[in-house]
A and B are shown apart, each in its own frame.
Chain A
């Protein structure tokens, strides 16, 4: 069974701080996605990484896919209250359609 473990489960920081959240598995994924979910809404895709070692930047967010395609990280620089939400990683096996989601990291950024 493929599992994605996210850490930390919960993170509360001050505005302006940097943070990194992790997504780990013992399985290889053809791609990993990061979603952000706000209360009362469905998740919204932030990025998809497909190549081992790939790094993608989205403004203050930096996403990295591990060389072995088993793990990924999300780094936020100078966090803002608007970054508050549940961050979910999701992976799909090679040739598969079923997306496996991690349990998420709940981020709270205090002003």
Chain B
């Protein structure tokens, strides 16, 4: 079946503008993760959704970042009043369940550039 998809693949915006990044997880996957990857770096955890439970937002770097997941499927990551340091690749992953033994399937990412 189809993998995790993300859109847009690239986004260039001006400092101060808001952006929305979309993630379509694999059908049936209850867990959804957002990560941020800066150039040459590893993955920084941002937020996690599991079923109908309250999301874990502990990784969000500031209150300019928010995310929602509608109907337990599609997720949107919103960054308000973007700053240049927000430039990075934003990766979404989904998995069948929670816990360390479940494989996370990653999308190709959205490359965000804030000018």
Chain A positions within 8 Å of B, measured between CB atoms, are 6, 29-31, 33, 40-45, 48, 50, 88, 90-92, 96-104, 106
Contacts and interface: CB of A to CB of B under 8 A. Distances in A.
B101 A48 contact: yes
B48 A98 contact: yes
A38 to B, nearest CB: 10
A6 to B, nearest CB: 8
B31 A50 contact: no
Given A42-B106, A42-B108, A44-B106, A100 B45 contact: yes
A46 to B, nearest CB: 10
B108 A99 contact: no
B104 A103 contact: no
A96 B42 contact: no
Contacts, number: 67
Interface centre among A30, A43, A100, A106 (most CB of B within 10 A): A43
Interface stretch (B11-19, B60-68, B71-79, B92-100): B92-100
6 contacts: A41-B108, A42-B93, A48-B100, A92-B99, A97-B98, A100-B45
A95 to B, nearest CB: 8
Interface string B18-50: 000000000000010101000011111100101
Interface in B89-115: 91, 93, 98-101, 103-109
Given A42-B91, A42-B109, A103 B41 contact: yes
A100 B45 CA distance: 7
A103 B37 CA distance: 9
A51 B33 CA distance: 25
A94 to B, nearest CB: 8
Contacts of B98: 97
Nearest to A40: B108
